[in-house]
Structure 1
Amino acid sequence: MSKAFDTVCLVGLGYIGLPTAVVFALRSINVVGLDVNRTAVDKINRGETHIVEPGLEDALRRTVTAGHLRATTVPEPADAFLIAVPTPFLENGGGRDPDLSYVEKASRSIAPVLKAGDLVVLESTSPVGATEQMAAWLANERPDLTFPQTHGEASDIRIAHCPERILPGHALTELVTNDRIIGGMTEACATRARNLYKLVVEGDCIETDCRTAEMAKLTENSFRDVNIAFANELSLICDRLGINVWELIRLANRHPRVKILQPGPGVGGHCIAVDPWFIVSQAPEEARIIRAAREINDGKPEWVLAKVHQAVAEHVAATGKPARIACFGLAFKPDIDDLRESPALAIAERLANAYPGQVEVVEPFIEALPPAFAGKAVLASPSEAIESCNVLVILVDHSAFKAIPVPVDRGTKIIDTRGLWIGAPRHEGKNQR
């Protein structure tokens, strides 16, 4: 079998797949991007991105112009296939079981073009056992080839799991500098995958088995979720006791062994808000802290909404007029356009439904509001929202919002879930935020 990687195929050209494809193409590796979205494919082939990621469009344009990257909707042969497709929840009556249908479709789509010596890597964050399930789907489609689950180290196809570890907004850097965990179905599978990633990764590539690699990503995000839940729970306690939670955290973090995170309106994104439930679904009796943290973070938007409803009621009682509400931010984290699993988006949607025609949304990273807001809310600039609204709700700490002077006139009511205005330091000294 040839050990070279002449062509790499990225299956799924979203927030992970497209930056990954570009990083490989920047090393003059022939990269084919595969996606079902014809509009996205056409834009990529013109050197244009369909997502917001600093530096990505310029790098994409250079790689497309150089002939190292192109996109297609039709599977083609390659030496390595990296699958980076969504793994959301199943629509099963409110349950939290993982949906592997996208992984299954991606696997079955590339199966006809596999050949002996190929490597298939699942990058999608997945429940434990998903990589082995992917191998089973591939084997079912290609009985003429051998796979690790039946032929071990002698298999025709190498199978591995390598979860991404990037921070949106820093993808092109972190794809190169971060360590990667390489989980193979066999040692040969792990080594083959490591050889691929070392073509672009400057960080360490650590080999392990695929189940450990799957659990490692879930563990990393669950750890962060539990710590965010602690901060969010503190914010509820401090609100009841009349304490500024950001001042409290700033002071507590002066302890050399304490590093409390920042509270917010909840937890969003395609990882931290989702991945812990994969552990809970597979070990419901054991994952008690993980479940509790998820419930705390999932419940925080309700607390924010209650605060807004209270502020609206107070405005109406004081003036006899309807309140206008400004929601600052829809993204799940600052300075990106990603709305996936965003608590800010969910809060703004519910406010638009509760107060149709009275809501203005300030989100600098989108050009139009999602369809759910049609006829109920408008997209506004920060100055427009501050001038016309009586209740200001800070949901995302975009850099642009940090420069806005704190509104103090006209009796404006502020619900600040990010500590941008309400949490401003009152004392000189070391700022731990």
Structure 2
Amino acid sequence: MKIKVNWYGKEYPQDWEFFAECEEGKNIDISGKNGSESKKTAPSPKELVLQGMASCTAIDVISTLKKMRQVVESFTVECSAAQTEIHPKIFKESTLTYKLTGKNLEIEKVIHCIFLSFTKYCGVHAILEKSGCNIKPQIFINDKLIDLWDPQNKTQIKLQEWYENFGKNCSKGVALVIGTSRGIGKELVFKLEKEGYAVLPAGRTSFNFENENIFDSLFLDITKPYTTDYVKNLLIKTKIKISLLVQNAGISSTDLVQDDVNALQLTMHELRHVYDTNVFGIIESTNNLISVLEASAKVILVSSTMALRERDSFLTSVYRMTKRTINQYVRQAAMQITHEQRDVSIFALHPGSVKTDLNPSGKISVEESTTQIMEILADNFALNLKNNNGEFWIYDTEAKTWKIKF
């Protein structure tokens, strides 16, 4: 891909006018407004970026709709955005508004096409999102506002019924577990249900746990703030408060095969990719969900002893750094909770060296690890957690007990 931008060479105040060439297609005029005396004659560079995102997702949607044999009569994508106040001024939040009309459009199919583009395929959207811009969707089908995540309100209705029939009767309240597709997160869902929790699993991958006290897995990608907003708003609408929040999501590298990235081999791409999930996503989603916690709720952030100084190594560097950051966040969050006289317990924990697909040399099974996590959540441990709010708890696989690492 290659482009070229040429200056028209006009006199002030119209001296910020250019035309851009690409390898195939017509030239595009670009204009900046150089003071109050000038008149903008074409899109500005930043407007072109927004136009690029809108047209990129529009191409995705219209091409997929045609494959699904949906007849569209009209289709527009509008984009609004707000910028930061300091230079370089970048987009901090944006709304993409999709408007479609058609006589026989099937809402579920239309929503699926937009969902795929918005969450997966639109490259310009991804570029802006990686810069820290929080992009939200808004969809109108035949002039009716439709929710991207729950187009027919089916999830909201089902969740309300589930809570009325099962959730509100569970002795331990409702647990929201993020990162439940496999390993510790998945097994913990079953353990929590057995101990009296109504469980809301959430993550990037849907999973049916086939248990009346366990709701269908909710879509929540902690690197995408709008998905956390969706889950939070769903809980607000259904008047559900969370008694336990478990943050189990995490990755070790961009490379799923070889995750031992040495310190001096780290790139900005590697750092950003892992930090997006392990730090930015965890912290932002936790802060966002604080408002739907019960007064005496518990918040667990799964960490690792790889964050500790005595386990320092130049291997798996970015993972170690992210876990150290999370442990510090927990300490500072606990300080603020104490200052605000709230009754929430927040702590990080290392669940032991667990044998999983990502850690085949682990010393204990997922079963043993999750059993021990249930021990730290037991009623007789609650006072210990409150008295040591914000600490890093480590499961000692040799002594088979929980210890605090100061």
Question: TM-score when scaled to structure 2?
Answer: 0.28
> Could you say which structure has the greater relative contact order, defined with CA pairs below 8 angstroms and 6 or more residues apart?
1
Question: TM-score when scaled to structure 1?
Answer: 0.27
Structure with more of its chain in strand, by fraction: 2
